[in-house]
Amino acid sequence: MEPKFLTFSPRTSPSVAALPFFLSYKSSFRQKPNYNLDNPLSISTKQLGKTTFFGESLNIPHTSHSLGNLKKTHVPFGPVKAAVKRRKEVPFDNVIQRDKKLKLVMKIRKILVSQPDRIMSLRELGRFRRELGLQKKRRFIALLRKFPRVFEIEEEGVYSLRFKLTPEAESLYLEELKVRNEMEDLLVVKLRKLLMMSMEKRILLEKIAHLKTDLGLPLEFRDTICHRYPQYFRVVSTGRGPALELTHWDPELAVSAAELEEEENQARESQEKDLIIDRPLKFNRVRLPRGLNLSKGEMRRICQFRDMPYISPYSDFSELRSGTLEKEKHACGVIHEMLSLTVEKRTLVDHLTHFREEFRFSQQLRGMLIRHPDMFYVSLKGDRDSVFLREAYRDSQLVEKNRLLLIKEKLRSLVAVPRFAQRGVQTDVDGVEASQEIGGRMGYILQCTFIGPKVYQWYGSVLNAGIRYSLTVVSM
């Protein structure tokens, strides 16, 4: 179905034609009308500005219709740009859905590891209920018991319980710390590239903290990495708080991931031309999500935008005027590079909006991302919207995974293990339930749950006797 505008017909009466047209998209931003009672009712499109969602718009000729002696109501609508309608894509939304429990477990683990000996009482955990986003009536003991392979609950005196990580979860946490230490050089490069893209080569530390998890930075990066490399950057005081400032510009780092990929594609195409002589001409096409049908005008607009000269995110953009296609081309390049620096090639849209000042992003950042479905996908799943780098994913899986992401997948496998076996339900590595029952005349049921590479947990129950048992199998 093609995205269309819902507008008035030329045959409608002036009273209807005077109303502004609407987009076939449900916007979450609304403005209160500004009532002007001095003149007869007249709604003009001359003063159309920018909407808070779709950015710049079509150029609409100035028209004004009067409805007699009625009082005038002036509605301050801005120009609306023809935008691609956002279409739900299940593979990307599944990425958000399968991490729902994992995010909660990682929040609890973050609080737990900050305690001495990584042991904490349930009473102390209750002080973080609001931070965890839990309801007051929910019991922590019932919550922790849902993840038996991650948390252990033990008694401490009478009516006192405390919890800690299981040996498997503890081992994964220590492995993660080791990998982060080994990847510190890569983290320094990420911070340098982020500073090199900014306008003043300086970013507040509290803004960088929003991306610390996505970039793979340690929790204490402000006190460690930021002070260990004065040859690259330094912490300076500003009127708005401490900021990280670049001290050395490296031209070798001022190459974006998009430029590197283009060089690889050109080398591959030149090699194919040498190998295949009579090959037919290859047309330049735009990769769009399957099932997204666009009008010819939208396809032409996307192709024209893509064929514009590339503007490096590391170039000087102080002369680019806001609201122009050149500025949007630069903004798309910056977001593409920022997502390329993240571990999972995705982040929250809210996190990007914190950098409006440093990268001169427009107020319609979310709408700009939706306008370019060939590069980004905006998911509405979860509490806050997320943006994905489309080229980094195949279905719901990342094409390239680093060691931190592999450790996270192992933790997700532990989180997916239930406390009790559910009859005929199997949980795989992505936390997606599937059915598998093994049984016969003897009246028993076996259930297999994926734990990690070559490790499976088998749960069984004898129906007649009501006996439950579990067995861990390691396949060679």
Q: Tell me the per-residue pLDDT of 149-179, one tens digit each, with 9 for 90 and over.
A: 999 998 877 678 899 999 999 999 999 999 9
Q: Is the pLDDT of residue 436 over 70?
A: no
Tell me whether residue 92 is in a domain.
no
Do 372 and 430 belong to one domain?
Answer: no
Q: How confident is the model at residue 421 (pLDDT cuts 50, 70, 90)?
A: low
Do 5 and 68 belong to one domain? yes
In a domain, 345, yes or no: yes
pTM of this prediction? 0.68
Instruction: Give the CA dihedral 153, 155, 161, 163, nearest 10 degrees.
Output: -30
Residues 276 and 394 in one domain: yes
Instruction: State whether residue 327 is helix, strand or coil.
Output: helix
Query: What single string gives the DSSP state of each residue in 58-90?
Result: ----------TTSEEEE--PPP----PPP---H
Percent of the chain scoring above 90 in pLDDT: 43
For range 229-249, the mean pLDDT: 95
Q: What is the mean pLDDT of residues 329-356?
A: 95
CA 295 to CA 297: how far, in whole Å?
5
Under the banding of pLDDT at 50, 70 and 90, the label for residue 408 is very high
Of 228, 187, 229, residue with least CA distance to 208: 187
Q: For the CA atoms of 270, 340, 169, 116, what is the dihedral angle to 10 degrees?
A: 140
Please give the pLDDT value at position 158. 64
Q: 348 pLDDT exceeds 60? A: yes
What one-letter code names the amino acid at 464?
N
DSSP assignment letter at 198: S
Which range, of 89-93, 244-248, 329-333, 408-412, averages the lowest pLDDT? Answer: 89-93
What are 264-285's pLDDT values in tens digits? 888 777 776 666 555 554 545 6
Query: Binning pLDDT at 50, 70 and 90, where does residue 335 land?
Result: very high
> Are residues 333 and 292 part of one domain?
yes
Residue 97 has what pLDDT? 87
Instruction: Fill in the DSSP letter of residue 321.
Output: P
Domain count across the chain: 3
Question: Which of 27, 55, 83 is the endpoint of a domain?
Answer: 83
Give the pLDDT of residue 347: 96
Least confident of 92-106, 322-336, 377-391, 438-452: 438-452
Q: Give the pLDDT of residue 324.
A: 92
Angle between helices 167-182 and 100-113 (to 10 degrees): 80
Is 455 or 407 the better-scoring residue by pLDDT?
A: 407
Residue 95 lies in a domain: no
Q: How far apart are CA 99 and CA 158, in angstroms?
A: 36
Structure tokens at 148: 């038996």
pLDDT reading at 472 higher than 90: no
Q: Provide the 10 A C-beta neighbour count for residue 250.
A: 12
Q: Which of 398, 429, 446 is the last residue of a domain?
A: 398
pLDDT score for 51: 41
The rounded mean pLDDT for the chain is 75
How confident is residue 442, by pLDDT bands cut at 50, 70 and 90? very low
Residues 128-156 have a mean pLDDT of 86
Q: How far apart are CA 460 and CA 439, in angstroms?
A: 10
Same domain, 388 and 437: no
Give mean pLDDT, residues 427-433.
44
- CA-nearest of 19, 79, 1 to 9 is 19
At 189 the pLDDT is 96
Does residue 338 belong to any structural domain of this protein?
yes
Angle at 197 between CA 194 and CA 202, to 5 degrees: 70
Highest mean pLDDT: which of 51-55, 322-326, 446-450?
322-326
pLDDT at 175: 94
Residue 358 inside a domain? The answer is yes
Tell me whether residue 344 is in a domain: yes
Looking at the fold, whether 339 and 271 belong to one and the same domain comes out as yes
Instruction: Give the pLDDT of residue 383.
Output: 85
Q: Does one domain contain both 372 and 445?
A: no
Averaging pLDDT over each range in 44-58, 399-413, 426-440, which range is the top one?
399-413
Residue 122 to residues 91, 93, 128, 161, Cα–Cα distance (Å): 37, 33, 10, 6
Does 137 score more than 50 pLDDT?
yes
Is 457 part of a structural domain of the chain? yes
Whether the predicted pLDDT of 248 surpasses 90: yes
Residue 188 has pLDDT above 70, yes or no: yes
Please identify, among 55, 83, 111, the residue that sits at the C-terminal boundary of a domain: 83
Average pLDDT score over residue span 280-309: 73
Q: Does 280 share its domain with 352?
A: yes
Same-domain status, 384 and 432:
no
Radius of gyration of the chain (CA): 28
What residue numbers bound the domain in which 70 lies?
1-83
> Strand locations in 139-190, DSSP E?
151-155, 161-165
Task: Name, of 50-64, 251-265, 337-351, the range with top average pLDDT.
Answer: 337-351
Q: Do residues 307 and 392 both lie within one domain?
A: yes
- Asked if the structure places residue 5 within a domain, the reply is yes
Could you tell me if 376 and 452 lie in one domain? no
Distance CA 152, CA 149 (A): 8
Is residue 207's pLDDT more than 90? yes
**Does 447 share its domain with 339?**
no
DSSP H helical ranges for 378-418: 403-415
Higher local confidence (pLDDT), 216 or 436: 216
Residue 368 has a pLDDT of: 92
Asked whether the predicted pLDDT for residue 24 surpasses 50, the reply is: no
Both tokens of 213, joined, read 């998890």
Mean pLDDT of 339-352: 95
Cα separation of 219 and 101, whole Å?
Answer: 21
